[in-house]
Amino acid sequence: MDTLQKLLLCAAVGLVVTALLGLAVVPALRRAKVGQSIKTDGPVWHMSKQGTPTMGGVMFITAALAVSVAWGIWQGDWAALTVFGFAAVFGVIGFLDDFAKLRHKENTGLSASAKFLLQLAASILFIVILQKLGHLRPDLAIPFLDIELHLPRTVYLVFAALVMVGTVNAVNLTDGVDGLCSSVTLPVMLTFAALAARTDNKVGYGAFSACLLGCLVGFLLYNHHPAKVFMGDTGSLFLGGAVCGLAFALDLPLILIFVGIVYILETLSDIIQVLYFKATHGKRIFLMAPLHHHFEKKGWSENKVVAVFTAVSCVGCALGYWGVANLVR
């Protein structure tokens, strides 16, 4: 069985396992009354989603764990489980956040400072592990230029930790419309799988990427509009950890500029809105932030938002792959 067939198998298993888990998990979450609380200052038309089961990210997290372990046993390669472990730490942080929201029965979970410190500690630990494994050097591969910029290890550590925390929270912010975060992340996982497949010593990361690609397709069976379940912070923070974890595991962190274009635009829209609102004492640039809500206010349906944003993600991923393909080592 060649590499492509192995990765396709990982994707297929991830899809099937996630889809089957959904048959049990979604009803169980509904019976447990694990319902999403909708922000009162958010779009009024989202209030109909109140009570929709959340924390559905456990479906694809469980499936990804099963495939990562199976890959390690089958191939003797535990790289997939390494990235899964990193992403899972963020998933646990998200779970604690979701649990706090449910306990307080409002859309406010862990404090921002608590989440930041936990995420920062997880990022630093992962960077150190990757360096010990020899999969990460203090060099920045510059897309399209085929050159590398060497940084002092301390500087690189600070850079990497901040990029990881920023990426995780940017992915989390994108989870605001039915199916959006899942759909936007599909081409990202496809890109990472394709890049990992180009080198024998990093195929395990490709297995994890392909697996998560299939898992997200399986999750979309329940998460597309109108969503039967939300991934919650449990799922979105796990995905954020997976995205940045794979970028650094492949030693290509600057690819995030391209594959993460939607996450970046969503975050920038939120930052710009807040800064402009404070500077002008109440004026706004966007009808509502983050960006997906602005387009909803403009009259776009949720399906149109997902389709357009996913198309933008596909373009960014294509550019990212083109820019770094020759840098994969």
Strand, coil or helix: what is 22? helix
All structural domains of the chain with their residue ranges? 3-254
The mean-pLDDT minimum among 47-56, 176-185, 218-227, 243-252 falls in 47-56
Strand, coil or helix: what is 247? helix
Strand, coil or helix: what is 136? coil
Q: What is the mean pLDDT of residues 212-228?
A: 96
Model pTM score = 0.93
pLDDT value of position 327 = 80
The mean-pLDDT minimum among 141-150, 187-196, 304-313 falls in 141-150
The C-alpha atoms of residue 39 and residue 108 are separated, in whole angstroms, by 9
Is the omega angle on the peptide bond into residue 226 within 30 degrees of 0, that is, cis? yes
